[in-house]
Structure 1
Amino acid sequence: MKHENIEIPAAVRQKAVAQGAEGRNWLHRVASLFIELEHDWFFTVEATLAGGSESLVAAATTSSGEPVVLKVLMPPYGTYAGDTRTLAAADGSAHVRILKQDNERHAMLLEHLGPSLGVLGLSIENQMRILCDTLGEAWKIPAPLGLNTGAEKARWLRHFVTATWEELGAPCSARVIQQAINFAESRIAEFTPETSVLVHGDAHGANILSDPTHPGRFKLIDPDGLLAEPACDLAVPMREWSRELLSGDAFERGRERCGFLSQLTGVDLRTIWEWGFFERVSTGLLTMSIGNEQEGWEMLEVADTWTAV
C-alpha cells in the first residue's frame, strides 16, 4: 500500500536494506503502518523528514490542527525502549514531549519543535553552552527502571572498537586503539548507580531542537536513554568539530574544550576526557565503516594527536 505524502529518505532506505530481510519487509509495510496510525490517532501526514537513519519521521497535523511529528522505528528496534522510557520519564522537561506511543508498531507521536541547534549558525562555544544548559536540566530527571548502563555502553564500545579496527585494516595506530580500550575499562571500573544520572547518549547538534513555545530554550530528541555518569553525554561534544581541532594544535584545543565543558557543568575533567576519547575513536571507525572515510579519518587523526602527548 502506498501513501502519497511518504517519501523514504535514502539514508533510511539504505539502513533498512542493510538489516536484511527484516529491514526490507519493514520498507514494504511502513506506508501501511502510517495509514493505520493516521486512522487510529486522528492525524494527517504532511511530509516525511530527513535527518535520521533508524526511523521514518514525518511532519503531521492532528484533526484539531495541531502540528505534530510521527516517528516509526525500523528493526531491530534496539533504541525504542530507551527512547520511550526516557521521554515518558521526562514528560516534556528538556526533551520532546511524547503524545502517544504504540509498542507493537514501534511508533511515537511527538510534539512539533523548531530547527536544530546545528543549523542555527552559532559558534561552537555557544552551541556547547546551549547543549550543557539543556543537558543540565535533563540530568535532573529521575532515571526510569530498566535502562542500559554506562558500563554496558563502555563494554560494547570496547568490543566494537577492536573488531571494527581489525575489519577496516587498522586505519589508525594500535596506540590509539589501546588507549580507547584503557579508557573504556576505566569507565567500566568506576561505574556506580549512585553517581549516575539519566543521560541522553547521543546529544549532537541534530538531536537538540529549539522550543517554539519558549524562545531561547531547547529540547532533546532521539535519546538512547542510559543510566550513566554525566560525562557520557559530554563525550559527544568532545568527538564533534574535528576540523576546528585540526586547524591548530589539536591536543591543546581538545584540552581547552574539555576544560570548557567541565567549567560549564562541574563534571570532572578526567572522566570527560576518557569518555570523549573512546567515543571519538568508536565514532570515527563507525563513520569510516559506512563509507564516510574523510570524516572518519579526521576523527581518528585528532585521537592520534591526543595519544602523542
Structure 2
Amino acid sequence: MEGLPQIVARMRARWSPDLQALFHGGSCSWVAPATLPDGLPVVLKISWPHREAAGEAEALRLWDGHRAVRLLREDSEYHALLLERCDPGHPLRSADHLSAEERLLAGADILRELWQVPVPHPTGLEQLADVTSEWAGLAEERMERIRPGFDAGLVAHGIQLLRELPATASREVVVHGDFNAGNVVAAARRPWLAIDAKPMIGDPDTTRGRSWRRSTTHSPTPTPAACWPDGSPCPVRGKRRRHPRRTRRHARGTGPGRPAGYLSSPAAVGSWP
C-alpha cells in the first residue's frame, strides 16, 4: 500500500490517463475511470498482488471482448491493467427494471459466449482441480488446528467433494471464477459485460449457484426456465454441485483475509490525482 501512489504515478507517465474520481467498494484493487489523450474512455486497475488475480489479463486476452471487458494494455510488473470502460457501468445486481428471471437469462447469455472460447494449451491459468485440492488440504489443516464449532461430518463431506467433483466434469472451459451480478455491468457495445475475473480452467458448473442467489436478491424466486447455457434447469440442480469456494469458506474457520478498505484509504492513494 505504501508504494501505491508511486505505481499510480508510473502508470500516468506510461499511459497518460486523465484520471477521475476513484471507484469505491472493492477490496483487492485500486480502480479509477480515466480518459486517454485520444479521448478513449478507460479504467485503470491496479491490483493487490494475489493468486486469484494472477490470470485476469490472460483470460481477458482469450475472451477478447466476447462478453467481457476488453484488455487494452497491461503492466505485469506492477499488476496494472488498462481496461475498456463500460458505460453506463451499473451492475446487473442493481438492474431493478429487470425481473429476476431476466437477470438470470442475461447472465446465462454472457456465460454462453465466455465458455465458447477454446481452452489454450499450454496456459498460465490454474487448473480448478489443483486449486480445489489445495482448498481441501487447507480445510483439513484448519479444522485440526482451529477446531471451529462446525459439523465435522459435513466439513469432511465438503472436503471430499472439493477433491472429487472436478474429475466428474464433462468438459473444461475458461471459468470466470467470480461470476456474480456485481461483476456484470451495463455497457454500450453490448448490454452487459463481465468484469473482475478470477479465472481458472475447469468445470463450468462452478459458476452456478452462488452467482445467481446474488442476482436475485430482493426479487421473487425465478421460474425454473432452461436458462443455463447448456439448457439445464436453473436454479442449480442437486446438492452435489455446491460451489467449491463456498465449501472452502465454511470449512476454513478463521484466518487471515483481505485487509478492510484495501487500496481505498487516503493513505494508499496519497495526493492523487
Q: What TM bracket, shorter-length normalisation?
A: 0.7 to 0.9
Give the corresponding residue for 2:246. Answer: 280
Q: Counterpart of 1:206 in 2: which secondary structure?
A: coil
Q: 1:234 aligns with which of 184, 188, 208?
A: 208
The amino acid across from 1:264 in the alignment is W
Q: Counterpart of 1:65 in 2: which secondary structure?
A: coil
Counterparts of 1:277 and 1:198, CA distance in 2: 16
Is contact 1:149–1:226 with CA below 8 Å preserved after alignment?
Answer: yes
Q: Counterpart of 2:148 in 1: which secondary structure?
A: coil
5 Å-filtered alignment, 1:146-225, equals: 146-165=124-143, 169-191=147-169, 195-214=171-190, 217-225=191-199
5 Å-filtered alignment, 1:1-309, equals: 27-75=1-49, 77-113=50-86, 114-121=89-96, 122-144=98-120, 145-165=123-143, 169-191=147-169, 195-214=171-190, 217-237=191-211, 240=214, 260=224, 264-266=228-230, 273-284=239-250
Counterparts of 1:286 and 1:117, CA distance in 2: 30
- Structure 1, residues 35-83: CA drift from partner, whole Å, max 9, x if none? 11112112111121123211111111111232211011113x3234310
The amino acid across from 1:207 in the alignment is N
Counterparts of 2:226 and 2:163, CA distance in 1: 21
Q: Counterpart of 2:67 in 1: which secondary structure?
A: coil
Q: CA RMSD in A?
A: 3.3
User: What TM-score, normalized to structure 2?
Assistant: 0.78
Is contact 1:230–1:267 with CA below 8 Å preserved after alignment?
Answer: no
Structure 1 segments unaligned to the other structure (5+ residues): 1-26, 248-252, 292-309
Counterparts of 1:190 and 1:120, CA distance in 2: 35
Q: Counterpart of 1:158 in 2: which secondary structure?
A: helix
Cα gap change, 1:262/1:224 in structure 2, threshold over 3 Å: closer, same or farther? farther
Is contact 1:141–1:198 with CA below 8 Å preserved after alignment?
Answer: yes
- Is the helix fraction higher in 1 or 2? 1
Is contact 1:238–1:277 with CA below 8 Å preserved after alignment?
Answer: no
Cα gap change, 1:205/1:241 in structure 2, threshold over 3 Å: closer, same or farther? closer
Counterparts of 1:153 and 1:135, CA distance in 2: 21
Counterparts of 1:56 and 1:208, CA distance in 2: 18
Counterparts of 1:131 and 1:142, CA distance in 2: 20
Is contact 1:239–1:276 with CA below 8 Å preserved after alignment?
Answer: no
Is contact 1:43–1:61 with CA below 8 Å preserved after alignment?
Answer: yes
Q: Which shows bigger deviation, 280-289 or 117-126?
A: 280-289
Q: Equivalent pairs: percent with the same residue?
A: 25
The amino acid across from 1:149 in the alignment is Q
Is contact 1:98–1:109 with CA below 8 Å preserved after alignment?
Answer: yes
Counterparts of 1:262 and 1:179, CA distance in 2: 29
1:93, distance to aligned residue in structure 2 (A): 0.8
Structure 2 segments unaligned to the other structure (5+ residues): 258-273
Counterparts of 2:67 and 2:168, CA distance in 1: 27
Counterparts of 1:166 and 1:105, CA distance in 2: 37
1:281, distance to aligned residue in structure 2 (A): 2.7
Give the corresponding residue for 2:263. Answer: none
Counterparts of 1:101 and 1:233, CA distance in 2: 26
The amino acid across from 1:126 in the alignment is E
- Structure 1, residues 72-119: CA drift from partner, whole Å, max 9, x if none? 1113x3234310100011111111101110111111000111111122
User: What TM-score, normalized to structure 1?
Assistant: 0.69
Counterparts of 2:107 and 2:22, CA distance in 1: 26
Is contact 2:100–2:216 with CA below 8 Å preserved after alignment?
Answer: no
Between the two proteins, the alignment pairs up a number of residues equal to: 250
Cα gap change, 1:204/1:163 in structure 2, threshold over 3 Å: closer, same or farther? farther
Cα gap change, 1:79/1:30 in structure 2, threshold over 3 Å: closer, same or farther? same
- Structure 1, residues 236-275: CA drift from partner, whole Å, max 9, x if none? 326658988xx9xxxxx8xx99xx4865233778987434
Cα gap change, 1:43/1:54 in structure 2, threshold over 3 Å: closer, same or farther? same
The amino acid across from 2:51 in the alignment is G
